[in-house]
């Protein structure tokens, strides 16, 4: 599995010939969007910073889109979406937390979650045995660095990947999150290539992915 971070909350996860896109940035957003082909698109919040479905199309082939809570199965991939809330951009909206299993690894994507109290009981019970956690850390409508660290520690993932921290790895939010996690000075990686065996012995390890253009 190869994980690439494209900025804001946009992530590209590739395994074999299959590509999954999380919260692709719309071309209408003030943030930079990246166009690439995906088979499945997961959208947490119906907002231009996260719902750039058209950016993930392959020519005339539209991706399978999931944009809300529920249970889904596409091509043998089982995905669960859990209801939560966010006040991103000053308006209260539904935020979907996604949990899916790929290559025997459980990936949890918190989307634009803005507080621990926004996670309902069903999600809290289901979010267990997480291998890789994607957590927003930038504040201003999503979790603050301190809140993100607290939630991440509580969920006990093997790897934590911070997202929504700003334009580059020198941002105040990312520095604050790394300080909270005792990982000040941690170097960023261009992408994360990981297999199940690579997770052995890991307990809440932070991996910083630098925003990529593709």
Domain ranges within the chain, ordered by starting residue: 2-206
Place of tokens 């979790």: 143
Q: In CATH, what is the architecture of 2-206? A: 4-Layer Sandwich (3.60)
Q: Which residues contact 61 (CB under 8 A, 6 or more apart)?
A: 37
Q: What is the pTM of this model?
A: 0.95
Q: Is 169 left (phi over 0), alpha (psi -120 to 50) or beta?
A: alpha
pLDDT at 214: 62
CB 209 within 8 A of CB 191: yes
| DSSP string covering 94-160 | EEEEEEEEETTEEEEE-TT---GGGS-HHHHHH--S-SEEEEE---SSS--HHHHHHHHHHH--SEE
pLDDT at 77: 93
pLDDT at 60: 76
Q: What is the pLDDT along the chain (214 residues), one digit of tens a residue?
A: 999 999 999 999 999 999 999 999 999 999 999 999 999 999 999 999 999 999 998 777 789 999 999 999 998 899 999 999 999 999 899 999 999 999 899 999 999 999 988 888 888 888 989 999 999 999 989 999 999 999 999 999 999 999 999 888 889 999 999 999 999 889 999 999 999 999 999 999 999 999 986 6
Cα-Cα-Cα-Cα dihedral sign, residues 92, 6, 82, 65: positive
Cβ-based burial of 169 (10 A; exposed 0-12, middle 13-18, buried ≥19): middle
Give the containing element (helix H, strand E) for 179.
Answer: helix 172-180
């Amino acid at each position: 599995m190869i994980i690439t971070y494209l900025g804001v909350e946009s992530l590209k996860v590739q395994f074999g010939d299959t590509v999954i896109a999380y919260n692709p940035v719309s071309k209408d957003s003030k943030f930079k969007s990246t166009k690439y082909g995906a088979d499945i698109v997961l959208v947490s919040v119906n907002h231009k910073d996260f719902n750039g479905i058209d950016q993930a199309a392959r020519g005339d082939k539209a991706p399978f889109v999931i944009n809300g809570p529920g249970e889904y199965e596409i091509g043998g991939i089982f995905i669960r979406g859990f209801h939560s809330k966010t006040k991103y951009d000053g308006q209260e909206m539904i935020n979907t937390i996604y949990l899916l299993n790929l290559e025997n690894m459980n990936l949890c994507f918190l989307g634009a979650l803005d507080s621990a109290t926004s996670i309902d009981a069903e999600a809290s019970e289901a979010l267990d045995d997480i291998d890789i956690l994607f957590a927003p850390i930038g504040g201003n409508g999503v979790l603050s660095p301190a809140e993100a660290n607290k939630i991440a520690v509580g969920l006990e993932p093997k790897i934590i990947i911070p997202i929504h921290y700003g334009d580059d790895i020198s941002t105040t939010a990312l520095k604050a999150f790394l300080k909270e996690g005792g990982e000040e000075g941690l170097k960023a990686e261009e992408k994360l290539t990981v297999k199940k065996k690579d997770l052995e012995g890991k307990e809440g390890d932070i991996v910083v992915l630098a925003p990529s253009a593709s």
